[in-house]
């Protein structure tokens, strides 16, 4: 982001970090935390052939089914996110259990990486998912961070598009930044538009409030992050801002993500959903409230 911030804003950001990071650092050092989280039982992962489907896996990780393809967004299945030091990950621990075992995933056709932040590009998870049938599509100057073992790794700048047997993947520009560490701020950041026939999915990734998606039409499913806004509203939209962006987009359904999983900010874990539902008022049936690991399809929503 473009600092400097106003002094009061900067003070709030420093206080937020001091409140959380020492506790997570101490927890990181107390035990070996390189393993993946023990999953809870998951629901069925089998929509009908060519049926649109979505499963929230915690934070910004979603399993999408479109055009007969399985697509993962920003998969983070580790117990902890942050810098690896030997066998330990020094960083923030996971609060929301992983809803399924990675070995139970269907064959993944594409993994979409929005940007290089540790809570979106998790190298231990990607090593676990590496497969010769899977293609990774990622933001500019992030391809070298992807572990080996995939069919291909494609850096796709914003405004570009790829087509695979009738499934289109297009990149859009959110209002965010893509640094992995403090001094590498030239890395890109993507949102993704997926399309197959009449099915269109927007995965917004991380974004502050933006008008970048307003021109899109006929979106059946919009996936927006609703958490980590206090005091980071310059990087992550508030629930009310997300609802305004969703309404401007005119999408059919909203899947809220990026909440309740990692303690990245000061709001209570339950606050983002409460505020989103309050903002939607009587229109809140358009918000998908499926549990982590639960399959959503438009037919369920209609029923």
Task: For residue 69, tell me if it sits in a domain.
Answer: yes
Answer whether residue 139 is part of any domain: yes
Order across the sheet with 69-73: list the strands.
53-56, 62-66, 69-73, 110-112, 135-138, 152-155
Who wins on pLDDT, 18 or 15?
A: 15
Say if 303 falls within a structural domain: no
The reported pLDDT for the residue numbered 34 is: 46
Give residue-wise pLDDT tens across range 23-74. Answer: 767 676 665 544 444 554 444 677 777 789 999 999 999 999 999 999 999 9
Of 11-20, 50-59, 120-129, 244-253, where does mean pLDDT reach its minimum?
Answer: 11-20
Q: Quick one: pLDDT at residue 113?
A: 98
Task: Give me the number of domains the chain comprises.
Answer: 1
Q: How confident is the model at residue 122 (pLDDT cuts 50, 70, 90)?
A: very high
**pLDDT, tens digit, for every residue of 235-288?**
999 999 999 999 999 999 999 999 999 999 999 999 999 999 999 999 999 999
Distance CA 280, CA 286 (A): 9
Q: Any idea what the CATH number is for the domain that residue 76 is in?
A: 3.60.15.10
User: Is residue 186 pLDDT above 70, yes or no?
Assistant: yes
Measured CA to CA, the distance from residue 199 to residue 116 in angstroms comes to 28
In this structure, of 3-12, 135-144, 239-248, 283-292, the range with the lowest mean pLDDT score is 3-12
pLDDT of residue 70: 96
User: Helix, strand or coil for residue 120?
Assistant: coil
In a domain, 274, yes or no: yes
- Whether residue 303 is predicted with pLDDT greater than 70 in this model: the reply is no
Q: Is residue 107 a part of any domain in this protein?
A: yes
pTM (predicted TM-score): 0.90
Helix/strand/coil for 258: coil
User: According to the model, what pLDDT value does residue 17 have?
Assistant: 65
Q: Is residue 55 part of a domain?
A: yes
Which of 9-13, 33-37, 109-113, 274-278 comes out lowest in average pLDDT?
33-37
Positive or negative torsion for Cα 84, 87, 89, 95: positive
Residue with tokens 């479109």: 66
Expressed as residue numbers, the domain containing 51 is: 7-289
Does any domain span residue 294? Answer: no
In sequence order, which residues have a C-beta less than 8 Å from that of residue 102 and are 6 or more positions away? 36, 77, 125, 128, 129
Residue 111 domain-assigned (yes or no): yes
Distance (Å, whole) CA 12 – CA 23: 18
């Amino acid at each position: 982001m473009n600092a400097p911030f106003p002094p009061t804003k900067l003070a709030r950001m420093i206080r937020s970090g001091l409140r959380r990071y020492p506790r997570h650092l101490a927890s990181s050092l107390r035990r070996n935390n390189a393993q993946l989280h023990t999953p809870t039982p998951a629901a069925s992962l089998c929509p009908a052939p060519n049926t649109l489907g979505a499963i929230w896996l915690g934070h910004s990780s979603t399993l999408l089914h479109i055009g007969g393809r399985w697509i993962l967004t920003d998969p983070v299945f580790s117990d902890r996110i942050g810098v690896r030091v030997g066998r330990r990950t020094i960083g923030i621990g996971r609060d929301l259990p992983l809803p399924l075992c990675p070995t139970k995933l269907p064959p993944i056709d594409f993994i979409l990486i929005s940007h290089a932040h540790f809570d979106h590009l998790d190298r231990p998870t990607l090593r676990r998912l590496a497969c010769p049938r899977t293609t990774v599509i990622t933001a500019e100057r992030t391809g070298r961070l992807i572990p080996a073992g995939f069919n291909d790794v494609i850096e796709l700048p914003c405004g570009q598009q790829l087509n695979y047997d009738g499934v289109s993947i297009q990149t859009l520009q959110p209002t965010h930044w893509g640094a992995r560490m403090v001094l590498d701020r030239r890395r890109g950041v993507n949102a993704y538009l997926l399309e197959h026939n009449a099915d269109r999915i927007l995965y917004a990734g991380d974004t502050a409030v933006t008008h970048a998606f307003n021109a899109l039409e006929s979106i059946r499913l919009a996936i927006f992050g609703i958490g980590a806004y206090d005091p980071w509203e310059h990087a992550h939209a508030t629930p009310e801002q997300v609802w305004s962006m969703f309404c401007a987009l005119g999408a059919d359904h909203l899947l809220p993500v990026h909440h309740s999983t990692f303690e990245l900010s000061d709001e209570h874990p339950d606050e983002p959903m409460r505020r989103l539902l309050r903002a939607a008022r009587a229109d809140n049936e358009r918000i998908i409230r499926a549990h982590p690991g639960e399959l959503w399809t438009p037919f369920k929503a209609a029923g």
